[in-house]
Structure 1
Amino acid sequence: MMAGLITCSGSVSAIKALWETRIKQKREELHKKESGAISRLTGVWEDRIVLAKLNDRIVNEEGRLILRLEKEDWKTLPPALVKLTQLQEWQIHRCGLQDIPPFICRFHHLVVLDLSRNNISKIPTEIGRLSRLRELLLSYNRVTSIPEELACCENLEKLEVAMNRRLSQLPPQLSNLKKLHHLDLSMNNFVDFPDAVLGLPALQWLDIAGNSLRALPTDIHRMENLHTLWLQRNELETLPDNVSQMQSLETLVLSSNQLRDIPSVMEGMSKLRFVNFRDNPLTLDVELTKGTADDEDREMFGHEFMLLYIQEARKRGNAALNQHC
């Protein structure tokens, strides 16, 4: 009899323990569900708060919807931003932004992407899916390379990547940008003139100043539509004769290089209106005669100086030839 009671008591204890375990598990599951629901609800409210904040930064200018953020803390852009895909322009400056989100490809209406003066180090390959993009402005960042997919932005007209100190190359595919007419590569780390630039058929304005270029390509005249070329603060020692065949060139800035001579063929550049040879170790010491008070602001190392230098070099060359004869 006693043994039966012991067995019965043991069974009750086991059943009780089993039910307590099940109740505990149910409570834990319920707690997880409640926590998940709270978390999801919190996420929804956070998204709403972020969207409200972003909506306050949207302006309408001449029918174009622009997201404008200036000097705010946006190291990353929230996924909730994809609910504003109707945006046509981003202007995000001095916000400490560290990357361009891959979901940028969902902004099919984007025409201008201006993310200058941030901390961006990489351009995502998804940017190549922005078929309407006309302007990409990424100066004063930390970009180290340009993805070849950017060449798929067939409507791109303006590209600025100045002051990205570790940027030293461009992918050859960029020559497929048939509408690109404005390119700023200044203050980077280019040692060689990018081949892709020579193949841009519509290029009119190029700034590649403040790099480490030692020479220009001999076929530089391929840029037949270029009217402005900034080359100051490089390490150029000579100029190719074919520079004289750049018949559309109107502005050529060559100050602060290592040029020792000016090619005589540049004398025939009929459209050249402004040129600057200041702060170069030119071989000949040539000075313009002082002008009148009304002429004091003329460029002492400009177009007039160039012509005088070429004439003086020719005169001295003829004199030396006559001496030998």
Structure 2
Amino acid sequence: MSTLRNISSFRCVKDGWKTLDLSNQNLLVIPPAIFEHVDLERLDLQDNNICTAVVPREAASLASLVILDLGNNTNLGHLPRQIGLLAKLRELRVQRCGIEKLPEELYNLQTLEVLVAPGNKITTLSEEVDRLYNLKEIWLGENELESLPGTLCVLSNLHTLSLYKNKLSSLPPGIANLQTLKLLSIQSNRFTALPGDICKLCNLQVLHVGDNVIHELPENITKLTKLRVLSISASHFKVFPAQVLHLWALEELYMGRWSGPGRRSFVPKDIAMLRNLKRLAVDVCGLESLPDGVGALTHLEYLSLSYNRLSYLPPQILTLTNLKVLKLKNNGMTSLPSAMHRLGNIEQIDVSGNPLTYPPAEVLNGGVAAIMAFLTEEARLERIRREKEDREFSQLMNTLSADVDRAEWRWIGRELGLTDLELHAIQEDAQDNVQEQTYKVLMTWREQAGECATLDRLVEHLRSIRLHHLAEALQDMREKRHLADPVL
């Protein structure tokens, strides 16, 4: 519908504001009845089909209006000149309205603090922008800006400047004057070098520069000691910018495809220097593994490794017990380890697009709770099996040790990779008891070799040093135990 019978029925008081919410009402025009509500402070007209912005001069009657939202009226086309009559307006939202130019009357709004206009067709920002000296936030992403006026740099209250996905190749020379700036987004533009003056924005906390053809970062970027969020994804760095690793206050780092599309972008081994990281995204990098340093990022709550070449879950992830979100979409993993159940704080797991056969599909389809419950039970069964194996191995080694001569235990120890220092310590600890010495040698090997310490491998080692009698004895003992207990 394009008109409303009873405008007043939509009025409400919300958070202390006198609000008229007409969002998503299929309006084609701005209802003239709105202008009768002279005490309105917030007017929400977003998500309609308003295709003309012709507004009568009665709009000046909305002298109390503080917030106006016209967002997502995609056929609006332009803002009315009467916008300049809203003398108390502090927040204007006109995102995705098909606007090509902001009217000159807009710059009369000296009370304006927030301008939200992404997703339009705006090509220029007027030199008059300095008249909006109370501006705190400018959101102009997804427009067609090719340059910015120098007068922008006198807005001493500005703390947010979002310019992503435009056609910018430079920033005004006075950008360093914006000392209150906390967020700067220039990603997806046409920069070939990052302006050095950005490094003088000492209060900057969020910086998005990715998806530009930049080959390096300024050395002085390390002076941004308050930087909490950095995005360098889809850049064209020749080598990973080591300066990033000295931004120790970083809590979020987005670095997917940092070397550019189609090139392998590894994770630096010194990533552990960023001890405060809570979010890390390394998508579309051709990764087959992760460096050990990732395991030291114990504050991580969000980790995204989607669209890589991981064939297994990197074991470093299992130490990240604060993880809440783990994204592994579109890799090459065929199974998830039962040890993954240690991630007790996990709330979201995305493993879609992997050729997983374990856990079973019905478990994967059950979501994170089903996956973690399955892996927890599998880990319990694995622990029981391992404990049983350890007991059996210990018993076999104790029995085998009784058949070892005094001269043989050192041969066995050296064959199994123990050092002379380790052998000397065992000799001292076992007080010259050959059986105990041999047993300790065998159990030390078991501990060091892990899953490789199989009975078959031990038989091979014994034969290689011509202790065939011990190899045969071990084979006989194993066969007898198999007959006694088919589970072995």
In the alignment, which residue of structure 1 is the partner of 2:199? 221
Match of 2:55 among 55, 78, 100: 78
Letter in 2 for 1:293: L
In the alignment, which residue of structure 2 is the partner of 1:148? 127
Question: Among the aligned pairs, what percent are the same residue?
Answer: 24
Query: Tell me, what secondary structure is at the counterpart of 2:146?
Result: coil
Contact 2:175 2:197 in 1 (8 A): no
The yes-or-no answer on 1:172 pairing with 2:197 is no
In the alignment, which residue of structure 1 is the partner of 2:42? 66
Cα distance change on mapping 1:188 and 1:292 into 2, 3 Å:
closer
In the alignment, which residue of structure 2 is the partner of 1:206? 184
In the alignment, which residue of structure 1 is the partner of 2:291? 288
In the alignment, which residue of structure 2 is the partner of 1:135? 114
Match of 2:215 among 214, 237, 242: 237
Cα distance change on mapping 1:59 and 1:162 into 2, 3 Å:
farther
Query: Following TM superposition, by how much is the alpha carbon of 1:139 offset from its aligned partner in structure 2, in angstroms?
Result: 0.8
The yes-or-no answer on 1:93 pairing with 2:71 is yes
Cα distance change on mapping 1:284 and 1:83 into 2, 3 Å:
closer
Contact 1:126 1:149 in 2 (8 A): no
Unaligned 5+ residue runs, structure 2?
19-40, 269-289, 293-313, 329-488
Larger relative contact order (Cα-Cα within 8 Å, sequence gap ≥ 6): 1
Unaligned 5+ residue runs, structure 1?
1-48, 301-325
Cα distance in 2 between the residues matched to 1:230 and 1:81: 38
In the alignment, which residue of structure 2 is the partner of 1:272? 250
Query: Tell me, what secondary structure is at the counterpart of 2:70?
Result: strand
Query: Tell me, what secondary structure is at the counterpart of 1:170?
Result: coil
Cα distance in 2 between the residues matched to 1:299 and 1:50: 46
Contact 1:125 1:150 in 2 (8 A): no
Cα distance change on mapping 1:73 and 1:117 into 2, 3 Å:
same
Cα distance in 2 between the residues matched to 1:74 and 1:140: 16
Contact 2:145 2:168 in 1 (8 A): yes
Query: Following TM superposition, by how much is the alpha carbon of 1:299 offset from its aligned partner in structure 2, in angstroms?
Result: 9.7
Cα distance in 2 between the residues matched to 1:52 and 1:89: 24
> Can you list the C-alpha shifts for 1:224-277, whole angstroms capped at 9, x where unaligned?
100110112111111110111111112111011101123444443332233233
Contact 1:170 1:196 in 2 (8 A): no
Deviates more, 1:71-80 or 1:289-298: 289-298
Query: Tell me, what secondary structure is at the counterpart of 2:213?
Result: coil
Contact 2:136 2:157 in 1 (8 A): yes
Match of 2:236 among 258, 274, 293: 258
Cα distance change on mapping 1:276 and 1:155 into 2, 3 Å:
same
> Can you list the C-alpha shifts for 1:205-235, whole angstroms capped at 9, x where unaligned?
1111111211112232211100110112111
In the alignment, which residue of structure 2 is the partner of 1:314? none
Query: Following TM superposition, by how much is the alpha carbon of 1:153 offset from its aligned partner in structure 2, in angstroms?
Result: 1.2
In the alignment, which residue of structure 2 is the partner of 1:161? 140
The yes-or-no answer on 1:188 pairing with 2:166 is yes
Cα distance change on mapping 1:124 and 1:154 into 2, 3 Å:
same
TM-score by length of 1: 0.69
Cα distance change on mapping 1:260 and 1:119 into 2, 3 Å:
same
Deviates more, 1:89-98 or 1:189-198: 189-198
Deviates more, 1:115-124 or 1:281-290: 281-290
Cα distance in 2 between the residues matched to 1:58 and 1:194: 44
Contact 2:182 2:206 in 1 (8 A): yes
> Can you list the C-alpha shifts for 1:58-107, whole angstroms capped at 9, x where unaligned?
65432351121131324223224233232111101222212222222211
> Can you list the C-alpha shifts for 1:258-303, whole angstroms capped at 9, x where unaligned?
0112344444333223323321338985541331435386899xxx
Cα distance change on mapping 1:92 and 1:292 into 2, 3 Å:
closer
Cα distance in 1 between the residues matched to 2:318 and 2:120: 45
Query: Tell me, what secondary structure is at the counterpart of 2:43?
Result: strand
Cα distance in 2 between the residues matched to 1:236 and 1:72: 40
Cα distance in 2 between the residues matched to 1:169 and 1:162: 13
